[in-house]
Protein backbone atom coordinates (compact mmCIF):
# COMPACT_ATOMS: atom_id res chain seq x y z
CA UNK A 1 0.00 0.00 0.00
CA UNK A 2 1.62 3.24 -1.13
CA UNK A 3 0.80 6.18 1.13
CA UNK A 4 1.97 8.98 -1.15
CA UNK A 5 4.93 9.68 1.13
CA UNK A 6 8.17 8.03 0.11
CA UNK A 7 9.59 8.46 3.64
CA UNK A 8 6.50 6.94 5.26
CA UNK A 9 6.42 4.06 2.76
CA UNK A 10 10.09 3.30 3.53
CA UNK A 11 9.48 3.25 7.30
CA UNK A 12 6.32 1.14 6.97
CA UNK A 13 8.17 -1.33 4.75
CA UNK A 14 11.10 -1.48 7.17
CA UNK A 15 8.83 -2.16 10.14
CA UNK A 16 6.63 -4.63 8.25
CA UNK A 17 9.64 -6.66 7.13
CA UNK A 18 10.88 -7.02 10.72
CA UNK A 19 9.58 -10.23 12.28
CA UNK A 20 10.91 -9.51 15.77
CA UNK A 21 8.66 -7.08 17.74
CA UNK A 22 11.66 -6.08 19.88
CA UNK A 23 13.50 -4.86 16.75
CA UNK A 24 10.47 -2.72 15.84
CA UNK A 25 10.53 -1.20 19.32
CA UNK A 26 14.26 -0.50 19.02
CA UNK A 27 13.67 1.31 15.72
CA UNK A 28 10.86 3.40 17.24
CA UNK A 29 13.06 4.26 20.25
CA UNK A 30 15.90 5.19 17.89
CA UNK A 31 13.54 7.58 16.06
CA UNK A 32 12.58 9.11 19.43
CA UNK A 33 16.22 9.87 20.25
CA UNK A 34 16.63 11.76 16.95
CA UNK A 35 13.72 14.11 17.64
CA UNK A 36 14.70 17.75 18.14
CA UNK A 37 13.57 19.36 21.42
CA UNK A 38 10.23 21.17 21.20
CA UNK A 39 10.41 24.89 22.06
CA UNK A 40 8.45 25.73 25.23
CA UNK A 41 6.16 28.16 23.37
CA UNK A 42 4.54 25.14 21.65
CA UNK A 43 3.77 23.30 24.90
CA UNK A 44 0.23 24.64 24.91
CA UNK A 45 -3.14 22.95 25.13
CA UNK A 46 -3.92 23.76 21.48
CA UNK A 47 -1.00 21.53 20.39
CA UNK A 48 -1.59 18.78 22.95
CA UNK A 49 -2.88 15.48 21.57
CA UNK A 50 -6.13 14.49 23.28
CA UNK A 51 -6.74 10.87 24.20
CA UNK A 52 -3.12 10.00 25.00
CA UNK A 53 -2.06 8.66 28.37
CA UNK A 54 1.29 10.45 28.02
CA UNK A 55 1.85 14.13 27.31
CA UNK A 56 2.14 14.57 23.53
CA UNK A 57 2.49 17.81 21.60
CA UNK A 58 2.55 18.14 17.84
CA UNK A 59 2.82 21.33 15.80
CA UNK A 60 2.39 21.58 12.06
CA UNK A 61 3.59 24.65 10.18
CA UNK A 62 3.03 25.46 6.54
CA UNK A 63 6.02 26.80 4.62
CA UNK A 64 5.82 27.32 0.88
CA UNK A 65 2.86 24.95 0.64
CA UNK A 66 4.59 22.11 2.52
CA UNK A 67 4.08 20.90 6.07
CA UNK A 68 6.87 20.89 8.63
CA UNK A 69 6.39 19.22 12.00
CA UNK A 70 7.69 19.61 15.54
CA UNK A 71 6.65 17.65 18.58
CA UNK A 72 7.52 15.93 21.81
CA UNK A 73 6.25 13.39 24.32
CA UNK A 74 7.22 12.50 27.86
CA UNK A 75 7.10 8.75 27.07
CA UNK A 76 9.88 7.22 24.94
CA UNK A 77 7.70 4.84 22.88
CA UNK A 78 5.07 7.54 22.24
CA UNK A 79 7.84 9.97 21.30
CA UNK A 80 9.12 7.39 18.80
CA UNK A 81 5.66 6.90 17.30
CA UNK A 82 5.34 10.67 17.02
CA UNK A 83 8.80 10.86 15.41
CA UNK A 84 7.78 8.18 12.90
CA UNK A 85 4.68 10.15 11.91
CA UNK A 86 6.54 13.46 11.79
CA UNK A 87 9.27 12.03 9.54
CA UNK A 88 6.71 10.27 7.36
CA UNK A 89 4.51 13.34 6.89
CA UNK A 90 7.33 15.90 6.63
CA UNK A 91 7.23 17.99 3.47
CA UNK A 92 3.84 16.76 2.29
CA UNK A 93 1.09 19.13 1.22
CA UNK A 94 -1.83 19.64 3.62
CA UNK A 95 -4.12 17.81 1.15
CA UNK A 96 -1.79 14.78 1.08
CA UNK A 97 -1.81 14.55 4.88
CA UNK A 98 -5.56 15.15 5.15
CA UNK A 99 -6.28 12.40 2.59
CA UNK A 100 -3.88 9.82 4.04
CA UNK A 101 -5.53 6.53 5.01
CA UNK A 102 -4.53 5.44 8.54
CA UNK A 103 -4.37 1.84 7.27
CA UNK A 104 -0.60 2.17 6.97
CA UNK A 105 -0.41 1.93 10.77
CA UNK A 106 -1.60 -1.67 10.77
CA UNK A 107 0.97 -2.53 8.09
CA UNK A 108 3.85 -1.51 10.38
CA UNK A 109 3.10 -4.45 12.65
CA UNK A 110 3.44 -2.12 15.63
CA UNK A 111 -0.21 -2.44 16.69
CA UNK A 112 0.36 -6.07 17.70
CA UNK A 113 3.07 -5.17 20.20
CA UNK A 114 1.59 -1.89 21.48
CA UNK A 115 -0.76 -1.73 24.44
CA UNK A 116 -4.30 -0.72 23.40
CA UNK A 117 -3.81 2.73 24.95
CA UNK A 118 -0.53 3.27 23.00
CA UNK A 119 -2.13 2.04 19.75
CA UNK A 120 -5.01 4.44 20.36
CA UNK A 121 -2.52 7.24 21.11
CA UNK A 122 -0.70 6.50 17.83
CA UNK A 123 -4.00 6.96 15.97
CA UNK A 124 -4.86 10.10 17.96
CA UNK A 125 -1.50 11.68 17.10
CA UNK A 126 -2.13 10.93 13.41
CA UNK A 127 -5.67 12.36 13.57
CA UNK A 128 -4.37 15.53 15.25
CA UNK A 129 -1.78 15.94 12.48
CA UNK A 130 -4.53 15.51 9.87
CA UNK A 131 -6.72 18.08 11.65
CA UNK A 132 -3.84 20.58 11.72
CA UNK A 133 -3.17 19.93 8.03
CA UNK A 134 -6.82 20.71 7.19
CA UNK A 135 -6.72 23.97 9.19
CA UNK A 136 -3.42 25.01 7.60
CA UNK A 137 -4.83 24.23 4.13
CA UNK A 138 -7.79 26.55 4.81
CA UNK A 139 -5.48 29.26 6.17
CA UNK A 140 -3.31 28.89 3.05
CA UNK A 141 -6.37 29.45 0.85
CA UNK A 142 -7.33 32.54 2.84
CA UNK A 143 -3.93 34.19 2.47
Q: Which residues of 60-87 are buried (b: 16+ CB within 10 A; e: fewer)?
A: bebeeeebebbbbbebebbbbbbbbbbb
- 52 is an active site residue: yes
pLDDT given for residue 46 in this prediction:
95
CATH number of the domain to which 113 belongs:
3.90.1010.10
pTM of the model: 0.93
Q: Which of 52, 81, 105, 133 is catalytic?
A: 52
Tens digit of each residue's pLDDT, the chain (143 residues): 577 789 999 999 999 998 888 899 999 999 999 999 999 999 999 999 998 889 999 999 999 999 999 999 999 999 999 999 999 999 999 999 999 999 999 999 888 888 888 889 999 999 999 999 999 988 866 55
Residue 72 domain-assigned? yes
Amino acid 113: pLDDT? 81
Domain assignment present for residue 1? The answer is no
Q: Which domain holds residue 87?
A: 6-38+49-142
Question: What's the confidence (pLDDT) of residue 141?
Answer: 64
Rounded CA separation 1/51 (Å): 27
Q: Which of 122, 120, 101 is nearest to 1 (CA)?
A: 101
Query: Could you give the number of structural domains in the chain?
Result: 1
pLDDT of residue 52: 80
Q: What is the pLDDT of residue 86?
A: 97
133 occurs within a structural domain: yes
Residue 20 falls inside a structural domain:
yes
Amino acid sequence: MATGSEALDTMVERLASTADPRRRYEYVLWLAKKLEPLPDEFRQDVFKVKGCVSQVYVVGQLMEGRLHWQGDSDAAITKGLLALLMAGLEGLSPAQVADLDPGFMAQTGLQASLTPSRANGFLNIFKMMQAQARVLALQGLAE
